[in-house]
Each structure stands twice: as structure tokens, then as C-alpha cells.
Amino acid sequence: MSYFLKSKRLDIAAGIGNNVVLNTKEAEHLGIHPGDKVSLKYGKSKIVYANVDTSSRIVKSGEIGLFEKVWKRREVKNGDVATVSLEGRPLSVETLKKKMLGQACNYKEFYALIKDISDGKFSQIETTYYAASGFVAPYTDDELYYVAKAMAETGEKFNLRKKVVDKHSVGGLAGNRSTPIITSIIASLGLIMPKTSSRAITSPAGTADAMEVLCKVSFNLEDIKKIIKKTNACLVWGGGLRMAPADDKIIKVSKPLSLESYDKMIVSIMAKKVATGVDYLVIDIPVGKSCKVPTMKLANDIEQKFVSLGKKFKMKVKVVKTPAKEPIGRGIGPALESREVLRVLQQHKFRSLDLENKACMLAGTILELKGYCKKGNGMKIAKEQVKNGEAWKKLNQIIVAQKGQKDINSEEVMKEVFKYEIHAKKSGKITFVDNKNINEVCMNLGAPTDKYSGIHTHVRYGQRIKKDDKLYTMYTSNEERLKLGKMAAENNVIFVIG
């Protein structure tokens, strides 16, 4: 049975999930309780699933109050009549249970589960269990394929009708903002690289967070296709696109733990690539004690899974594994990282050479994988595009196409609002740079939400330093966050002095 209720916009914004408010008495009468799930339908638009809160005054009998996320997305007006139904437990919870017990599932089961997540039928708790299931038992290669395929199938797709190349870093290494550089190099050579990136999951900034400092990153599919037509590339946020939308919801519940399972990570990446229609893919895996992938053995396992999955999707995949002892580049945080990118492309005297080299190496690998040049020549070609300014010209073009400021200078990018320097407590040699502690400090400073928060490092791995030398500078736009950052810095030593 369904009920007809008049919509009332509430100006309340919550974190994750959709919320609606029913009148307390009426909800009781209908047998609906706070925490239950209902579906709302408005005419022919897509069904919304939401959690129920109740109130005896804010919402009258015959009304349904909508939190901001619900009315904004569906453009519901006050008074619009919703058809409201109490929703039972989604059937695919049974598949969820099987995964929690470590049992294998088939494509049909995964498709139904991923579709339920994608449609918003799963509660936050249920989605969290799904995210946790990756830790229970490793997914088989077939299962990884099923999930990635289901994620791609339940969302929008690019369909560019051209050969597409792409690069993806598994992340977890601070800084390492090579993507905009690589994309600019590749596109400047006439290849198609439609780069959709996520925002930060377990790091202080994702490529989308860093790009957002320079231009818009949120576009619909049609606009993105125009940007690609104009520039051979794009550097946009993939989350707003409903490409593999289930993945985005899973990412949200992964954030509080700052820990993805490797299987989930592989699936998440491949799902987006399939939806983007990628033909040639280079995967960058930084390997180091405090990285997302700590050992070479694990990196090899992950490589095998990527290549095997690639074959199933008819995608050529090359995995590059690089030992990582410290961040690539010196800036960590959205604006600090976009400054690093511009410094490299504009060949600024303070640019980070490690970032420049890594980006050119990866761009070269793409060129070789695609067959653009002979093996061994890729990096040279890439470097030339940076030196001769063609790569910067291309990024400038992309920034403008994405409604950003033309000819922005690297030194205009960062705004220093509150800052605080951390100094060495003793003399010695830097024997370890703790990447996880960098993340912890930056997130307490407000990254990635606060674009101008993060750290800039002044010392490198292996360097000899004296007591009281500057180690790094913390930045944030918010005084309260600075206090949290200082506390985090006390508890999380970034530079270990031996």
C-alpha cells in the first residue's frame, strides 16, 4: 500500500543518506518507525529511498518533511504530492550475508546487490557491511569481475567511440599529484585521456580536490564530452556523474575508517575505467612501509588481479610499481598540490623534480603501451612536452574549458590563512617519513574539505638536519582546525630522526 503525502521542504542538511520526517502520530498509525526505510515517488521521476525521522510539530499529518538532499536532487516544490511506501529489507541483504560469511556469489547476486546500493535502497549500515565484506575473504577474480561489471552497468557510460588511454594511481602516497601533468602531456600529443577522478578517500586530497582549486570539476556527461572534444582530455570529478554510482556510496562509508580493502580498491578503479571506456590503462602503485601498499609482494598480487581483470574486460593494463620513501612533491593538501602541478608545468625554479620525473615516466609508459612510440622512448617524448611548454598550454586549455581562470600563475594558487611551523626536536638524519601520519595531520587541519589546508615539507628522506630546523609548515583556513592539527602533530611524528 502507498500513502499520498504533501511535501514540505525542510532546511536541514545531514551528512550521509537521505532523510524524511513524518508526523509522529501518523507514522505510528501507518506502522512506520524512526529508522525505517520508505520510498518516495513524484510523478514519473526516479524513486528516492530515505530513512524516516518523526516529529509532531515540524510536520503535520498529511505532510512529509524533506531534508535538503532530497528536495534539492529531485527539485521538489512545497506541496508536491509524494507517493510514499514502507520498504521491506532489500532481498540482496541475503547476498550481503553470504559475503560476510566468506561465500562466493554469482553475477546475478552481485548485480542485484550493487543495484540496490546504487538506487539508495541500502542503509548506511548495510553499505558499511558491504564495504567490510572485502576484509572477510578475498574475492575471486571472477567475483571482482562481476562486481566491477555490475557497478559499470548500473550507471552512466561515456561511449566516446575512440581509443581511450588512462592512468590511475592507487593512492595512499601523500602529494603525488602527477595526474594533471600526465593528462596534459598525453593530450598535448593528440591522444584521448578523459580523466575522471575521485575526491580524497584515504588521503588529504584527491585529483578532483586539487583541480577544484583551479577550475570547476563538476559537470554533466554532455558538457564533459564537449570539453574532451575541445581539448582531447578533461580533469573532472567522477562522483557527480553517476558513473558506477554504487562505488561512490561505498567510498563514503569507507572514509571514516581511512582503510579500503585491496579488492574493493581494484574493483572501484576498474568499474570507473569500464564506464569510461578505457582501452589502455597504466596503474601506478607506490610501494612503501607507510603507503597503501606496503610490500612488493602485495603489489605483485594486486598487479596480477589488475591484469587478469583487464583481460576479462578486453583492456590492456600495465602496472608500474615504484618504491616510495616519502611524498612526491613537497605540498600536501588541495591548493598546495595544485601549486606543485603548476610549478612543474610552468618550470618554476622551486618546482619538485621528483614529481616532474615521476609524471614523465608514467606518461611515457602510457605512450609505449598505446604503441605511440617504441619501448624506451616514451619518457623522453613526455619530458620534451613539459620543457617546450606544450603540456602547460594544454592544461591551460583544459582549465579554461572547465571554466577556470586563464593563465593562472603557480604562485597565485595557495592562500595562507593560518600557519604554524613544526621544528626538529633533535639533530640527526631523517630515517623515516611517515606517510600515514602526514594524512592524519592534514585531515585534522581540515583537508580535503578546506582547500587551503595541508602541509608543506622542508626536509627530505635521508637529509641531515639540526635541532630546531624547520621540518614542515601546517596551513589551514580555520583557527579551531589549527588546534586539532597541532594535537595531531604531537601524536603523529611525520619525520623520524635517527
Residues that bind a copy of itself (CB under 8 A): 1, 10-16, 19, 21, 24, 30-31, 33-36, 51-58, 67, 86, 88-89, 91, 93, 96-97, 100-102, 123-126, 128-129, 132-133, 135-136, 253, 256-259, 443-444, 446, 449-450, 477-481, 483-484, 487-488, 491
Shortest distance, CB of residue 337 to a copy of itself, whole angstroms?
20
Residue type present at position 346: Q
What the block records as the C-alpha cell of 419 is 600557519
User: How many CA within 13 A on the CB side of residue 243?
Assistant: 27
- Residue 264 or 339 having the CB closest to a copy of itself: 264
User: What span, in angstroms and rounded, lies between the C-alpha atoms of 286 and 324?
Assistant: 6
Q: Do the beta carbons of residue 492 and residue 440 sit within 8 Å?
A: yes
Shortest distance, CB of residue 397 to a copy of itself, whole angstroms?
34
- Residue 63 or 126 having the CB closest to a copy of itself: 126
- Say whether 18 sits in a helix, a strand or coil: coil
222 Cβ contact list (under 8 Å, min separation 6): none
Sheet (strand 470-476) strand order: 331-332, 454-457, 470-476, 418-423
Shortest distance, CB of residue 289 to a copy of itself, whole angstroms?
15
Shortest distance, CB of residue 156 to a copy of itself, whole angstroms?
26
- Residue 101 or 104 having the CB closest to a copy of itself: 101
User: What span, in angstroms and rounded, lies between the C-alpha atoms of 107 and 208?
Assistant: 31
Shortest distance, CB of residue 124 to a copy of itself, whole angstroms?
6
Shortest distance, CB of residue 210 to a copy of itself, whole angstroms?
19
Q: Do the beta carbons of residue 359 and residue 202 sit within 8 Å?
A: no
Residues 346, 212, 265: CA angle, nearest 5 degrees: 105
Q: Which helix (H) or strand (E) holds 476?
A: strand 470-476
- Residue 124 or 473 having the CB closest to a copy of itself: 124
Shortest distance, CB of residue 181 to a copy of itself, whole angstroms?
30
Shortest distance, CB of residue 420 to a copy of itself, whole angstroms?
15
Written in H, E and C, the secondary structure of 248-269 is HHHHHHHHHHCCCCHHHHHHHH
- Residue 264 or 305 having the CB closest to a copy of itself: 264
Please report the DSSP string for 134-155 in residue order: HHHSPPPHHHHHHHHHHHHHTS
Q: Do the beta carbons of residue 385 and residue 366 sit within 8 Å?
A: no
In this structure, is the dihedral angle defined by the CA atoms of residues 344, 346, 349 and 350, taken in order, positive or negative? negative
- Residue 408 or 474 having the CB closest to a copy of itself: 474
Residue 484, classified by CB atoms within 10 Å of its CB into exposed (0-12), middle (13-18) or buried (19+), is middle
Q: Do the beta carbons of residue 434 and residue 492 sit within 8 Å?
A: yes
Shortest distance, CB of residue 123 to a copy of itself, whole angstroms?
6
